[in-house]
């Protein structure tokens, strides 16, 4: 890089925030770690004394301004994002820095995209929420799949996980987000129907056919922003949802030891329209760990791109999806999958 960059990571004390900070440093970026309160003792991730920490509550704009001062970009890893995103976005904008987050929360992503476009455009910076496994990865996959398709009638996204060991942030976010989720039906964002039907999805190997439940997350918001489809829905296999629902499910393995070796994932997407049906899947390990290269790759592309078109965006509105995903081939394997149509209703 011709110049050195500084990126502030809000929520760097958390599981994913720690991974994001380490990925930035691996790429030669100076990192300012920010916690809601300054750590005073070693935590379970790593000796906090090894890092230069700043503390800033979302209720203290002056402290946030001091924490992000001099940053070229701010990556928010602290959920629930309904609570943190407005304050951290506004601090980034005041600092003239790009803002990225890893939110899976529909309401937060929708509000962030709608609220800050004009301000970000005026300042020549980018506001990019949901740049993670949930939200960003599906958005890029679907955009690549739909390229050149013309009219798109239906987009379906299905995720299969071996298991889900949720972070503390994931649990807090689930408790905070009580609003009814939305899907695209009839070409419009609509509330998810209350009555759930039984469905099975034929996933690629190694998962096979599994029962799934409707779990619409931030990908519904990002995809619908730039692809006009009559139907957009997303699903997840039921086993990790049971893990998430149990209070005794342990948290994920400590970062720094390596990725969770048993947690495989597949994100399977299908798009149909104009008599065509296309299907593609992304394979990898550890949904938390893979969010780090996703959001850092996006951050680096923003920092290295000159000039930058300011505003609020979904990932595929900014980046060429095929090129972006190819850059992450060591973390995410993308390949077309065969027919038949994967979803069945019973």
Task: Note the pLDDT of residue 260.
Answer: 52
Please say whether the beta carbons of 34 and 11 come within 8 A.
yes
Task: Note the pLDDT of residue 45.
Answer: 39
Question: What is the set of domains in the chain, with CATH numbers?
Answer: 6-132+291-323 (3.40.50.720), 133-286+333-345 (3.30.360.10)
Instruction: Spell out the per-residue pLDDT of the chain, length 346, in tens.
Output: 446 899 999 999 999 999 999 999 999 999 999 998 865 544 433 445 567 899 999 999 999 999 999 999 999 999 999 999 999 999 999 999 999 999 999 999 999 999 999 999 999 999 999 999 999 999 999 999 999 888 999 999 999 999 999 999 999 998 888 889 999 999 999 999 987 788 999 999 999 999 999 999 999 999 999 999 999 999 999 999 999 999 999 999 765 544 555 689 999 999 999 888 999 999 999 999 999 999 999 999 999 987 789 999 999 999 999 999 999 999 999 998 876 678 776 4
> Based on the number of CB atoms within 10 Å of its own CB, is 7 exposed (0-12), middle (13-18) or buried (19 or more)?
buried
The Cβ of residue 123 has, within 10 Å, a number of other Cβ atoms equal to 19
Closest residue by Cα to residue 132 from 173, 187, 97: 173
Task: Note the pLDDT of residue 237.
Answer: 97
Task: Note the pLDDT of residue 271.
Answer: 95
> Based on the number of CB atoms within 10 Å of its own CB, is 115 exposed (0-12), middle (13-18) or buried (19 or more)?
middle
Task: Note the pLDDT of residue 71.
Answer: 98
Closest residue by Cα to residue 239 from 262, 219, 256: 262
Q: Cα(296)–Cα(277) distance, rounded to whole angstroms? A: 32
Residue 242's contacts (CB-CB under 8 Å, 6 or more residues apart) are none
Task: Note the pLDDT of residue 305.
Answer: 86
Task: Note the pLDDT of residue 307.
Answer: 77
Task: Note the pLDDT of residue 46.
Answer: 46
pTM of the model: 0.94
CA 206 to chain centroid, in Å, comes to: 24
Helix (H, G, I), strand (E, B) or coil at 232: strand
């Amino acid at each position: 890089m011709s110049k050195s960059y500084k990126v502030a990571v809000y929520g760097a004390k958390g599981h994913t925030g720690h991974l994001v900070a380490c990925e930035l440093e691996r790429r030669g970026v100076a990192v300012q770690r920010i916690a809601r309160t300054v750590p005073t003792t070693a935590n379970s991730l790593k000796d906090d004394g090894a890092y230069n920490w700043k503390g800033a509550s979302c209720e203290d704009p002056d402290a946030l301004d001091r924490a992000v001062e001099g940053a070229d970009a701010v990556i928010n890893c602290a959920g629930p994002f309904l609570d943190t995103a407005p304050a951290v976005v506004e601090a980034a904008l005041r600092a003239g820095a790009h803002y990225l987050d890893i939110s899976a929360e529909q309401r937060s992503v929708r509000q962030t995209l709608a609220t800050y476009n004009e301000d970000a455009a005026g300042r020549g910076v980018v506001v990019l929420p949901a740049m993670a496994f949930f939200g960003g990865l599906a958005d890029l996959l679907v955009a690549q799949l739909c390229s050149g398709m013309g009219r798109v009638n239906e987009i379906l996204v299905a995720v299969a996980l071996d298991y889900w060991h949720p972070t503390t942030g994931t649990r807090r976010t689930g408790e905070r987000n009580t609003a009814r989720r939305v899907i695209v039906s009839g070409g419009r964002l609509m509330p998810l129907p209350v009555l759930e039907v039984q469905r099975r999805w034929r996933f690629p190997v190694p998962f096979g056919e599994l029962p799934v439940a409707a779990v619409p997350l931030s990908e519904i918001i990002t995809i619908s922003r730039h692809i006009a489809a009559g139907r957009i829905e997303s699903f997840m296999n039921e086993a990790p949802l049971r893990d998430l629902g149990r209070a005794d499910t342990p948290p994920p393995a400590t970062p720094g030891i390596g990725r969770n070796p048993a947690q495989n994932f597949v994100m399977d997407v299908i798009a149909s329209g104009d008599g065509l049906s296309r299907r593609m899947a992304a394979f990898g390990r550890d949904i938390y760990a893979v969010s780090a290269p996703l959001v850092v790759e996006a951050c680096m592309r923003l920092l290295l791109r000159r000039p930058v078109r300011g505003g609020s965006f979904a990932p595929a509105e900014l980046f060429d999806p095929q090129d972006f995903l190819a850059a992450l081939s060591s973390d995410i394997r993308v390949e077309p999958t065969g027919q038949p149509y994967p979803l069945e209703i019973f």
